Structure 1
Amino acid sequence: MRTALREWAFNFKRRTNPEEPMPDDVRVILDWVQRNALSMAAWEQSDRVDAVVSALGTLLDGTAAAASSVSRNRRIMNLAMEYAVRHGILRQNPLPKGKGNGGGAPKVAQAIDKRSLLNPEQVTALLDWIGKRPLRRGTLYRAFFATLCYAGLRPEEAVALHMSDATLPETG
């Protein structure tokens, strides 16, 4: 279904290209979606909106989704609703806002799980492997990732780093 929607329904150039006819299996899927999809008027019904908001925080097996997934899903849905408002399809964004309405996004843990970090041997092996990549790129990437690991810089800080910013120890 995702492929049919992405490659045909949401792809204007491919959908309108007479030289590339839509396959029969894709046509069957898109016909089913059109018959079973609700109209935008469903967003005016609060019980339907509540069901969607609830679904944004649930996995297909019915368990709760991770807080980061819920936040991402809500951002995407809000973008779609704002698009509909801008284009006159909806009068207002029907999704609840704020903590009091059940619309507040869940808290996302900011702590890093230490089990997901590399130990010094793994860092050394990774940097050695990167440094052995062909041509000059391997040495550039090795220096970049070594700067991230050993200096604790963010990628954008490492990219903006200049030789004059570093103080290197004396050789010998």
Structure 2
Amino acid sequence: MVRWLEAASLPLSALEDPKHTRAALEAISLRLDGTAAAASTYRRKRAVFHQALEYAVELGELSANPIHKVKFRKVKTTGEIDRRAVVSPEQARRLLVAVTYAGRTRGPMMAAMFACMYFGGLRPAEAAGLREANCDLPATGWGTLTLETTRPESNKRYTDSGEANDERGLKHRGSKATRRVPIPLELVAILREHITRYGVAEDGRLFRTRSGKSFPGLTVSMVWRQARMYAFTPDQVASPLARRPYDLRHAAVSLWLNAGVHAPEVAERAGHGVDVLLRVYAKCIDGQHEMANKRITEALTT
């Protein structure tokens, strides 16, 4: 295989010629079927390619990073959330009920996990890593989740443990960093009921299969698709409305901003930087146009 790759590939020094670098950039801008890839996909692949070339320069294989010689740009993406995907509180609660009807045991065992994404704004990997020790669930009032680990899903070939879910720290934070997330009474009650009904894994994790493993992503997606069909009209099912479980987190953060919670507090709860928060969720804040129009009218009539 290595001999075939050597025979079929250009030498690394060929990238000194900008035409070969451009060809590589054009290749990563396309999908396997030849159609254009999403701007975010291209940006991610370009970053990997750029880092590989920087390493080649470090090793002395290239005199300079040839990617800087090529003016090849895709349309930039801001990463803004599609507001059509953001559910209302009533729609979110309807989805959480519908999840319990998706399968005899799988849906009911996942319902509290989805509730954490909506009422607590947790990322799916953060919910998967949640342990009983991380939960302060008082009998009355607000509770607290102290997040310290995540369990993202990867191919077993690329994890240290050989399992699909390796335990890692919080996203964009140090390995020992934690994040405190206050949660409303509604989620406190849901988690207390979940623990009473299903218990916890040997390591204290709240959400796992009967065998103690994290729920596979394909199973989570299947349950979510069924729940959308139960909770929504056919037109809503065909729309972007809560198409992915991650959209529950988007709905949570949008709700906090719409409620008037200050951006630094929302960013702290969501695990975002304030600049990223406002850029990503700016168009999901309802009522801005009406408020702006009112202020402009008042200014014109003063």
Identify whether the pair has TM-score above 0.5, normalized to the shorter chain. Answer: yes
Give the counterpart of 2:96 among 123, 130, 134.
123
Separation (CA, whole Å) in 2 of partners of 1:38 and 1:167? 59
Contact 1:71 1:106 in 2 (8 A): no
Tell me: CA distance 1:114–1:161, structure 2 relative to 1, closer, same or farther (3 Å).
farther
CA separation in 1, counterparts of 2:104 and 2:86?
23
Gaps of 5+ in 2: 138-142, 144-181, 190-302
Where in structure 2 are the equivalents of 1:60-99 lying within 5 Å?
60-96=32-68
Contact 2:96 2:111 in 1 (8 A): no
What CA distance in whole angstroms lies between the structure 2 residues aligned with 1:110 and 1:152?
21
1:154 is matched with: 122
1:145 is aligned, of 104, 107, 114, to: 114
Residue 290 of structure 2 corresponds to: none
Question: In structure 2, what is the Cα distance between the partners aligned to 1:61 and 1:41?
Answer: 29
- AA at the equivalent of 1:46: P
1:104-115 correspondence runs (5 A): 104=73, 106-108=75-77, 109-112=79-82, 114=84
C-alpha contact 2:22 2:72 (8 A) present in aligned 1: no
Q: 2:185 aligns with which of 156, 161, 168?
A: 168
C-alpha distance in 1 between matches for 2:104 and 2:13: 58
Q: How far apart are the structure 2 equivalents of 1:161 and 1:113? A: 31
1:77 shift after superposition: 0.6
Which structure has more RCO (C-alpha within 8 Å, separation ≥ 6)?
Answer: 2
Q: Secondary structure at the match of 1:107?
A: coil
Superposed CA offset, 1:48-104 (max 9, x none): 11221222212344332111211121011112112212222222211138xxx5344
Aligned to 1:11: none
Cα drift, residue 46 of structure 1: 1.2
Q: Size of the alignment, in residue pairs?
A: 134
Gapped regions of structure 1 (runs ≥ 5): 1-26
Query: Residues 60, 143 of structure 1: CA spacing in aligned structure 2 closer, same or farther, 3 A cutoff?
Result: closer
> Matched residues, percent identical?
28
